[in-house]
């Protein structure tokens, strides 16, 4: 009964995969949750509201105007009691409405009324999923801390093969549990997380950077905060909003990032370097805009300090240092070398060229290596789930 006393609004929009949400509702009830289903009118053409009503043991909300007994509008009373809103399946239409604050039916109105976390599990034809406007809406949701249970790939109901299948019920339930069943095992610990790319300026308007979106680091910061840590997030420029209640330090260059870390290092129990730090910076900085004069131009680069190696040299006996190894070849060997060479306790190796891993995606495929020789290889999972796994390993190290 791990979800006892949890109030979950299950939003259901009209998609052929709606039968899976009957199963989601049933499993949530079995785990002790109080489930309140809100259906769009298209969803009611796929399954009967009565099915959800019997399974959830609660009335199903279809319309904002059919409440007779309650003085309060139903979307407000529901929104006020919710611990989580999960929309599964979420069609392109409901994704678009939630991303743009449109409230023209019961579900979209509930979505802008809740003050709890929101998880959406999109499901649609692969061309619709890859449509530029749908992509922009999904991106907007990610940037505003709305959790996405990314659809799986396979044979779709429309006969196409591709991405767009509603994730399996087990995966949806796991993501719900991750949001609601929070371990508070990092209370009293200070965790520094670095995220995003650094910028190395050539002149006032040009810089060298990389493709890091910052999502992995932000997911770690958010998860560590939820597990009770005091979190300092030191981030290069990204499009993401910092998680609530973390101390947020915005930096641009490697030098600024290093200074922000060193200013806080003594009070830190853990440092997780997920930032993509530039190894080089232009040897000379021009304080005025460089004009185009010659046909060819060469920029000379100088090595930056390796922040993590530097921290490895300074590390106290009770501090835990975690690095990332972004690799494209010999993943585990290269990660192992960095683990030893930088005096780390853990390193997270990822093949940034693999599909679903690396830059600008919400998922990652990682292996976690520790200094004692343990190596855990994980399948494709959301960056929030990867964050949880990394923090589980850190908690184990504290227990040793």
List active site positions: 158
Q: Is 273 in the site for ligand CTP (CB under 6 A)?
A: yes
Contact 315, 266 (CB under 8 A): no
Helix axes 383-399, 215-226, angle to 10 degrees: 50
Q: Please give the radius of gyration of the chain, using alpha carbons only, rounded to the nearest integer.
A: 23
Least distance to ligand CTP from the beta carbon of 310, Å? 8
Regarding 23 and contact with ligand CTP (CB under 6 A), the answer is: no
- Nearer residue to ligand CTP within complex by CB, 191 or 277: 277
Cα distance between residue 7 and residue 83, in whole Å: 5
Between strands 270-273 and 320-327, the pairing is parallel
Q: Where on the phi/psi map is residue 63: left (φ > 0), alpha (ψ -120 to 50), or beta?
A: beta
Q: Are strands 230-235 and 247-250 parallel, antiparallel or unpaired?
A: parallel
Binding of ligand CTP by 304 (CB under 6 A): yes
Under DSSP, is residue 119 helix (H, G, I), strand (E, B) or coil? Answer: strand
Half-sphere exposure of 189 (CA within 13 A, CB side): 27
- Give least dist CB 189 to ligand CTP, A: 19
State which of residues 46, 111, 325, 369 lies at the interface with ligand CTP (CB under 6 A).
325
- Residue 326 interacts with ligand CTP (CB under 6 A)? yes
SS3 state at 258 = helix
| Residue 183 Cβ vs ligand CTP, minimum distance, rounded to whole Å | 25
Closest CA to 340 of 310, 376, 370: 370
Q: How far is the CB of 381 from ligand CTP (least distance, A)?
A: 20
Span near ligand CTP by CB under 6 A; candidates 50-58, 118-126, 180-188, 275-283: 275-283
* Site for ligand CTP contains 390 (CB under 6 A): no
Please state the closest distance from residue 326 (CB atom) to ligand CTP, in A.
4
Separation between Cα atoms, residue 371 and residue 346, nearest integer Å: 6
Asked if residues 135 and 104 have their Cβ atoms less than 8 Å apart, the reply is no
Check residue 223 for interaction with ligand CTP (CB under 6 A). Answer: no
Q: Residue 233: which of 274, 183, 277 has the closest Cα?
A: 274
Residue of the chain from 78, 90, 277, 339 that contacts ligand CTP (CB under 6 A): 277
338 binds ligand CTP (CB under 6 A): yes
- Asked if residue 275 binds ligand CTP (CB under 6 A), the reply is yes
Residue of the chain from 23, 174, 247, 279 that contacts ligand CTP (CB under 6 A): 279
Of 180, 192, 308, 387, the residue at the interface with ligand CTP (CB under 6 A) is 308
Contact pattern from residue 352 through residue 381 relative to ligand CTP, giving x for each residue in contact according to CB under 6 A and a dash for the rest: ------------------------------
Quick one: 98 or 240, whose CB is closer to ligand CTP?
Answer: 240
Closest distance to ligand CTP from the beta carbon of 309 (Å)? 7
Q: Please count the residues of this chain forming the interface with ligand CTP, following the rule CB under 6 A.
A: 14
* Residue with smaller CB distance to ligand CTP, 20 or 338: 338
Q: How wide is the angle at C-alpha 112 spanned by C-alphas 81 and 79, nearest 5°?
A: 10
Least distance (Å) from ligand CTP to the CB of residue 327? 7
Burial call 242-271: b when 16+ CB within 10 Å, e when fewer:
bbeebeebebbbbebbbebbeebbeebbbb
Footprint of ligand CTP on this chain (CB under 6 A)?
254, 273, 275, 277, 279, 304, 306-308, 323-326, 338
């Amino acid at each position: 009964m791990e979800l006892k006393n949890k109030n979950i609004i299950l939003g259901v929009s009209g998609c052929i995969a709606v039968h899976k949400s009957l199963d989601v509702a049933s499993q949530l009830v079995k785990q002790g949750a109080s489930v309140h289903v809100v259906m769009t009118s298209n969803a009611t053409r796929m399954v009967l509201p009565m099915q959800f009503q019997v399974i959830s043991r609660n009335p199903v909300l279809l319309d904002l105007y059919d409440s007779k007994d309650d003085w309060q509008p139903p979307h407000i009373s529901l929104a006020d009691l919710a611990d989580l809103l999960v929309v599964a399946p979420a069609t392109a239409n409901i994704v678009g409405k939630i991303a743009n604050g449109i409230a023209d039916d019961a579900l979209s109105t509930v979505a802008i009324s809740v003050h709890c976390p929101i998880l959406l599990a999109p499901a649609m034809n692969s061309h619709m999923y890859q449509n530029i406007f749908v992509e922009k809406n999904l991106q907007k949701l990610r940037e505003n801390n709305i959790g996405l249970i990314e659809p799986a790939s396979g044979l779709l109901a429309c006969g196409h093969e591709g991405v767009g299948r509603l994730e399996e019920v087990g995966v949806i339930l796991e993501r719900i549990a991750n949001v609601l069943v929070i371990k508070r095992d990092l209370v009293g610990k200070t965790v520094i997380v670095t995220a995003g790319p650094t910028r190395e300026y050539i002149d006032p308007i040009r810089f060298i950077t990389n493709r890091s979106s910052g999502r992995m680091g932000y997911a770690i910061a958010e998860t560590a905060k939820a597990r009770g840590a005091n979190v300092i997030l030191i981030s290069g420029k990204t499009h993401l909003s910092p998680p609530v209640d973390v101390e947020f330090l915005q930096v641009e260059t490697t030098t600024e990032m290093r200074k922000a870390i060193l200013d806080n290092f003594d009070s830190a129990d853990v440092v997780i370097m997920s930032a993509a730090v530039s190894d080089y910076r232009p040897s000379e900085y021009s304080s005025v805009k460089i004009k185009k004069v010659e046909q060819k131009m060469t920029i000379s680069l100088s090595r930056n300090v390796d922040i993590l190696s530097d921290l490895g040299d300074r590390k106290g006996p009770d501090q835990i240092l975690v690095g990332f190894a972004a690799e494209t070849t010999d993943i585990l060997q290269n990660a192992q070398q960095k683990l030893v060479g930088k005096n780390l306790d853990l390193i997270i190796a990822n093949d940034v060229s693999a599909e679903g891993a690396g830059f600008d995606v919400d998922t990652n495929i990682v292996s976690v290596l520790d200094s004692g020789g343990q190596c855990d290889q994980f399948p494709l999972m959301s960056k929030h789930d990867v964050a949880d796994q990394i923090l589980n390993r850190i908690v184990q190290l504290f227990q040793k």
